[in-house]
Structure 1
Amino acid sequence: MSFHGPDVLWLVRHGQSRGNVANDEAAASGAELLDLERDADVALSELGEEQARAVGKWLAGLPPEERPTLALTSPYRRAHDTARLALDQLPDVPLRIDERLRDRELGILDLHTWKGIKARFPEEAARRRHLGKFYHRPPGGESWADVALRLRTLLTDPMLDLDGQRVLCFTHEAPIHLIRYILEQLTEPELIDALRAAPVANCSLTRFERPTPAEPLRAVDVGRTEPLPQHHVPTTRESRVRSDEA
């Protein structure tokens, strides 16, 4: 039995979270640590909730033949809550939790800013500079390459019954970049260039379509943010990524 996967794949980054706000505040103050709960429990901000509702309204406004038929979400609260709020507008779309869509695990570097990593883990910061962003694995955490490996199993999992579906994934910035890396067959330098050039905004939409069942998924939209201002909701994103940051 052949397996070709979804006909359309939407990738939605979660709405603005308390972690995003804390990161912005830490960058402004020069703090070394973020004052947050464990990563899986970080909630949306009030603006993030508005963003999730706005993207749901935009998706619900698509013609029926273009709307998602199945949704998958990271189990992390900020992504799952984004999915729940968005799908309030699409009550006929089933939602499944899949841990392979979770954010990258940072291990001992969790809750540390880049300034904090350099101050408290100078040897790890040096190893990060030597190995590069893609291959560096912090103790107890994952490299970007590790995340790519688990995402490959998601995209080819016949148990999910994705054939012919229009799949909507609620996830995080790193998995979105890495699904692009997989589907577009990017090189490491091309991925890093994409990270620097185009940080993924909260509740932005990246869409892949399959022209025919025999052809691979191809990027149609990357980081689309129009659904938010169309519903009078501000867009938020991190500053451009520096190559030396964890």
Structure 2
Amino acid sequence: MSLRVIVEADGGSRGNPGPAGYGAVVIEAATGQVLAERFDSVGVATNNVAEYSGLIAGLEAAGELGATQVDVRMDSKLVVEQMSGRWQIKNPGLRPLAATAAQLIDGFDSVSFTWIPRERNKAADALANKAMDGGRSVSPQPVADVAAPDSSAKALAREIAANAAGPARVAVAPPKSWVPPSLTAATRMILVRHGETEMTAEKRYSGRGDVPLSAAGLDQAAAAARRVAALAPDLAAVVTSPLARCTATAAEIARAAGGVPVLTEAGLIECDFGDWEGHTFAEVRERWPAEMQRWLDSTAVAPPGGESFKTVAKRIRGARAAVLAAHEGTTIAVVSHVTPIKMLLQDALAASDAFLHRLYLEPAGISIVDTWPDGNVAVRTVNDTAHLG
């Protein structure tokens, strides 16, 4: 069955960077019927990050609806020209988003991009503003599987992905000869999980609850801070989730580094575990067995009253893009939680979703990811805990 759709997408930021959100509308080309709407916040980000996020959301919705042909219409000249292959993607923060969009394009028979003036993109613009006001949409259920032969659109998608580099699950052809990239040109993110809390010690789901570090957690944070200072004498800044267990850990790192600035990034906040907050895995499996199994089986499924890993991934990619754009060529510490750090590592390693349930991250563990201006990525350390004794 062939289904042609129009995807109208937009994004905006109040401050550029500032509180940002995206909107996307999927319309059946033959009838003009609206098949799906998507809108959500991407935390603090730029207009371009929000616009790319809107494109990704629209393509995902089109794929879930079984579309085979997609006409993308946006009022962002930059996104249209870059995704059409006519403009280079010079901003390293946008390359992972462009490559994620390119991967999605690979699932359709054909995809076209058309620039339209803002007044013709009112529906998507309204949804983006709704997202910036705090609204969120519910993803539609897929109605058909997408299966398509090779095409010129797919070839273009692979080319864009190769040029963008670095996103999750995008296959990039290896170079004919390998030359170590210049370390001085990389943006180094030293990823630090916050120190232990009482809920961490009891192995309870701890998402949006603002629990403080325990005494042991404060010691762990201080030890991690000393290790970061030794690893990065030139540390430029500490970027942190807004929750107290992270800001306390970030303060220790900033102090050990000689008083570097601490910047809050809302997009780095932990997954919202909803009704599971404060419960152990065993308690959740006993009280919500069916819901837990669905959650384990699919990143698109959310805990009751919470958010899915798929939703978190979009937020984390937006936060990553904003952080890379703001700190290009420097070394920064990024203090966050289990889920966001796993997703940053998943994208860096081009790992499958199974990675999320197989990687264990200790409190105050350190991971290191380098990203170069051309989009190349190197994971140098994962869950290092030598500093904890």
Write the distance in 1 (CA, Å) between the matches of 2:286 and 2:200.
Answer: 22
Contact conserved, 1:7 with 1:217, CA < 8 A, in 2?
A: no
User: Which residue number in structure 2 is paired with residue 171 of structure 1?
Assistant: 336
1:216 and 2:376 equivalent? yes
Specify the alignment match of 1:9 in structure 2. Answer: 189
User: Is contact 2:208–2:269 with CA below 8 Å preserved after alignment?
Assistant: no
Distance 1:201 1:118 in 2: 23
2:350 aligned partner = 185
How far, CA to CA, are the matches of 2:325 and 2:380 in structure 1? 23
TM-score by length of 2: 0.49
How far, CA to CA, are the matches of 1:113 and 1:63 in structure 2?
36
CA distance in 2 between partners of 1:205 and 1:59 (Å) = 8
Post-superposition offset of 1:222: 0.7
Alignment partners' CA distance in 2, 1:91 and 1:177: 28
1: CA distance, partners of 2:346 / 2:324: 23
**Per-residue CA distance 1:167-204 (angstroms, 9 max, x = gap):** 21000111111101122221223x14xx42x4111111
CA distance in 1, matches of 2:260, 2:306: 33
In the alignment, is residue 202 of structure 1 matched against residue 366 of structure 2? Answer: no
Aligned to 1:53: 222
Contact residue 237 and residue 254 of structure 2 kept, 8 A = no
Alignment correspondent of 2:162: none
Residue 310 of structure 2 corresponds to residue 150 of structure 1:
no
Q: List alignment gaps of at least 5 residues for structure 1.
A: 27-33, 230-246
> Unpaired runs of 5+ in structure 2?
1-88, 94-185
The structure in which a higher percent of residues are strand is 2
Structure 1 pair 121/187, CA: closer, same or farther in 2 (3 Å)?
A: closer
Compared CA separation, residues 120 and 8, structure 1 to 2 (3 A): same
Instruction: Find the structure with the greater CA-based Rg.
Output: 2
Q: Percent identity?
A: 25
Aligned pairs, how many?
Answer: 209
Structure 1 residues 57 and 125, CA gap change in structure 2 (3 angstroms)? closer
Task: Go from structure 1 to structure 2 and tell me whether the alpha carbon gap of 1:126 and 1:218 turns closer, same or farther (over 3 Å shift).
Answer: closer
The AA in structure 1 aligned to 2:258 is P
User: Match of 1:205, as an amino acid?
Assistant: I
Q: Tell me which of the two structures has the higher relative contact order, counting C-alpha pairs closer than 8 angstroms and 6 or more residues apart.
A: 1
Q: Partners of 2:310 and 2:218 in 1: how far apart?
A: 31
Q: Which amino acid aligns with 1:19?
A: M
Give the Cα separation in 1 of the matches to 2:220 and 2:323. 32
Counterpart residue number, 1:237: none
